[in-house]
Structure 1
Amino acid sequence: MATTLWTLLCARGRINQRLGGVFGFCGWLPFAHEMDELIQQSDAISSGSDKTQIQRLICDFCIETIEIPRVSETADSQGESLPLSATPVLLGHGTDDDWVSVELGRQALRVIKGLTGNVEWKEYAGAEGDGHWIKEPEGFDAIFEFLEGGSQAA
């Protein structure tokens, strides 16, 4: 989940279209606390009305944090280089996960929800691997439905 979400957040200017979807399970989002603070500050300043501005702020934070080179801002001026805007996201976590606390997954959810409304969350109990796995069959059914596009608004 961490790698998937950071890849999406660092895609600004690199992926200039909507992705089919992104999903992550039983994970966390590095620097979620700092991102959440940036979102809260931005919401307070702009009344939460401009998700594109908040997405740019968080994407810049991620790009600067891992020090990857910036790319052309040409597409960004039209908002085209923020694939997070239109990409559906499915996140899930085991409530009994012994390896990564479900609270860390919920924190990742709050950050992603602060950036886009196009996110779905699933919680499960009783998965194999000390709860640190996708619950069968419900979790796999949710992934299949997500990939088919049946659970996401068009």
Structure 2
Amino acid sequence: MHDSVEEAEDENDDDASVKLDEDVEDMFERDEDESGTETKFERAVGCLSDELGTCGNVSGEHDQPAMQSIPVFMGHGTDDEKVPCSIGKLAAELLTTLDVNVTWEEYEGLDHSYSDMLRDFVEFLENLKPYLELRF
């Protein structure tokens, strides 16, 4: 994973799969001697809540599925001049470290618009129907 947004912007990687850099420390990893039952996702929300000065309770009191149990599709064009593709990939990598099931697609030659990406997104949603029917 990238250490900074600047590093992600500088990257010129043609690999469209989301993969993590094994040498980068996972800030949400729990030490062996730490107690508690929080997931990485809950710890991440807690860290962000502390940073923002908000309440970030994500555990227990509701029956909605956990964020990381909902599949997420992320797609980005390689020729996007408004938001570099590497920033989208960085976001996908971050969600992956939080145990979110991310499907990442890069679209060669696509700028800041839709087309093949929209088609793939609709197909992704269609494939969620069985999942949603079981859940709700």
TM-score by length of 1: 0.54
1:60 aligns with 2:60: no
Work out the number of aligned pairs and report it: 105
Q: Which has the larger radius of gyration?
A: 2
Residues 146 and 152, structure 1, Cα contact 8 Å, conserved in 2 = no
Q: Residue by residue, what CA displacement relative to the aligned partner does 1:12-32 show, whole Å, maximum 9, x if unpaired?
A: xxxxxxxxxxxxxxxxxxxxx
1:132 aligns with 2:112: yes
Change beyond 3 A, Cα 1:85–1:108: same
Letter in 2 for 1:84: M
- Which residue of structure 1 aligns with residue 67 of structure 2? 84
SS of the equivalent of 1:43 reads: coil
Structure 1: tracts of 5 or more residues without a match: 1-36, 47-51
Give RMSD over aligned pairs. 3.4
Residues 91 and 122, structure 1, Cα contact 8 Å, conserved in 2 = yes
1:75 aligns with 2:61: yes
1:121 aligns with 2:121: no
Structure 2: tracts of 5 or more residues without a match: 1-23, 33-37
Instruction: Provide the rounded CA distance (Å) in 1 between the counterparts of 2:102 and 2:79.
Output: 22
TM-score by length of 2: 0.60
More helix per residue: 1 or 2? 1
- Percent identical: 22
